Structure 1
C-alpha cells in the first residue's frame, strides 16, 4: 500500500479503532442501572452487538492488509462457478442490489481460486458505495475476453477522477460509508493480483467511475 505515510496511517488506524469504543462504554455504563427497563436493556445490547461487529470488521480488514503484504491472501484453489458466485453475492447485497449483466457465454465461466477470497472480491466490487447519503446500485457487465473473465463495474460518485480511483485502490478511503477502515478496494486489488489477475479503474465522466476486474478463466 502506498501513501499515506506510515505515521499518518497509524494515527488514522488508532482513531478509527477507537470509534466503536465510546458507544460500547456508554452502553456498559447504562446497563449497570438496576432500574433499567427490558426494552431499554435490549436496545443497549443491540448497540453493543453492532459496535462489536463493526470492530471485528475493522480488525479483519487490518489482518487482510497484513496477509496481502505477505502474499498470503490465497491459501487454496478450487473451481468456482461464476454464475453461482454472482447470484450469492447479489443475494447478500439486499439493501442496494447490484445490476449484473452477462455477455455471450460468460455465464458458464469458471475460475480457479480461493472461493472465500474471490467471494470477498466480488462483494467489495458489486457492493461498492462511495457516499453515505445516497447509496446507488453498482452496474456490472461480465464477459469472456481472451480466456479471461472481465467484469466492468460502473459506480456513480461525485467529483469522479482518475486520481480518486487510483487513490482508492492504493490507500484507505478517507470517509468510508460502511464505517470500516476504508481498505475494501485495496484488499480487493490484492486478491485479484493473488489470483493472477488485476483490478484497475478510471473516471468515465464527472460523476462516474469504472472499475475493471480481470481474472484468468479455468480451462
Structure 2
C-alpha cells in the first residue's frame, strides 16, 4: 500500500477495532444488574462471546499481515491431500457451500506446505463473499498441469472489473461482509507466494470475478 492509502487504512483499523468494544461494554454494564433474569444473562454472555470472537479474528488478520510482510507465514511443511483439504473446507463453509469440480485425475493431487496456512488459503478462496446482502456460492475447478496444481474460482460480483480484483489482492476490502478487516485475499495471495505459487484475478463478463490459484504439486506417490 502507498503511504496515503496505508494511513487511511490505519485510521479505519482503529475504527474497526473499536467496533466490538461498545456492545461488550454495554453487556458488562447490564450484567452488573442483580435483578437480571437467566435468559437475559445468557443473551448478554452470547453477545460478549460473539464480539470477543470478532475482535480476535481482527487481531489474527492484522498479525497475519505482519507475518506476511516479514516472510514468516510458513512454519512447517508437510504433504497435503488436496481432495481431503477441499472436503474439509466445504464442510466448514456449510452456510454457503462452494461448488468444487475436480478435473479427471486431479483428486489424487497432493501439495506440500504448512497445513494451517494452506487451509486458510482455500477457506479464503472457496468461502469468498463480496456482498453483505447477497451471499453467493463460489464455483471452482481444480486441475493438474504437470508439476502444478491450478484452481480457478468464480464468484458473482456486481460491477466486476480488473481494477477491483487487483485492489482486493493488494489492499483491504473497503466494506468486508464478514465484519473482519478485509485482508482475506491480501493474506491469501501472500500464502500462495510463500508456497512457491501465485494468486491472480480478472473480471469476466462484467458480473463475475475469477481468481486463479497456482501451486506446486508433489510427484505422484504411485500405488502403495
Short-chain TM bin: over 0.9
How far apart, in 2, do the equivalents of 1:18 and 1:188 lie? 25
Give 3-state SS (helix, strand or coil) of 2:170's partner. Answer: coil
How far apart, in 1, do the equivalents of 2:197 and 2:168 lie? 18
Instruction: Give the C-alpha shift of residue 147 in structure 1.
Output: 1.6
- Aligned position for 2:90: 90
How far apart, in 1, do the equivalents of 2:2 and 2:32 lie? 45
Count of aligned positions: 219
In structure 1, list runs of 5 or more residues that go unmatched.
Answer: none
- 1:62-92 deviation digits (Å, cap 9, x = unpaired): 0000000000001111000000000000000
- 1:155-189 deviation digits (Å, cap 9, x = unpaired): 10111000000000000000000000000000000
Give 3-state SS (helix, strand or coil) of 1:56's partner. Answer: helix
How far apart, in 2, do the equivalents of 1:26 and 1:208 lie? 41
CA contact (8 A) 1:152 1:213 kept: yes
Instruction: Give the C-alpha shift of residue 3 in structure 1.
Output: 6.8
CA contact (8 A) 1:157 1:207 kept: yes
Task: Provide TM-score, normalisation by structure 1.
Answer: 0.98
CA contact (8 A) 1:3 1:170 kept: no
Q: How do 1:144-159 and structure 2 match up within 5 A?
A: 144-159=144-159
Task: Provide TM-score, normalisation by structure 2.
Answer: 0.96
- 1:17-76 deviation digits (Å, cap 9, x = unpaired): 001001101111111111111001000000000000000000000000000000000111
- Aligned position for 2:192: 192
Mark the CA change 1:177 to 1:205 in structure 2 (over 3 Å): closer, same or farther: same
- 1:106-144 deviation digits (Å, cap 9, x = unpaired): 110000100000000000000000000010000000000
Instruction: Give the C-alpha shift of residue 2 in structure 1.
Output: 5.0
- Aligned position for 2:34: 34
In structure 2, list runs of 5 or more residues that go unmatched.
Answer: 220-224
- Aligned position for 2:222: none
Give 3-state SS (helix, strand or coil) of 2:100's partner. Answer: strand
How far apart, in 2, do the equivalents of 1:9 and 1:93 lie? 28
Instruction: Give the C-alpha shift of residue 5 in structure 1.
Output: 2.4
Instruction: Give the C-alpha shift of residue 205 in structure 1.
Output: 1.4
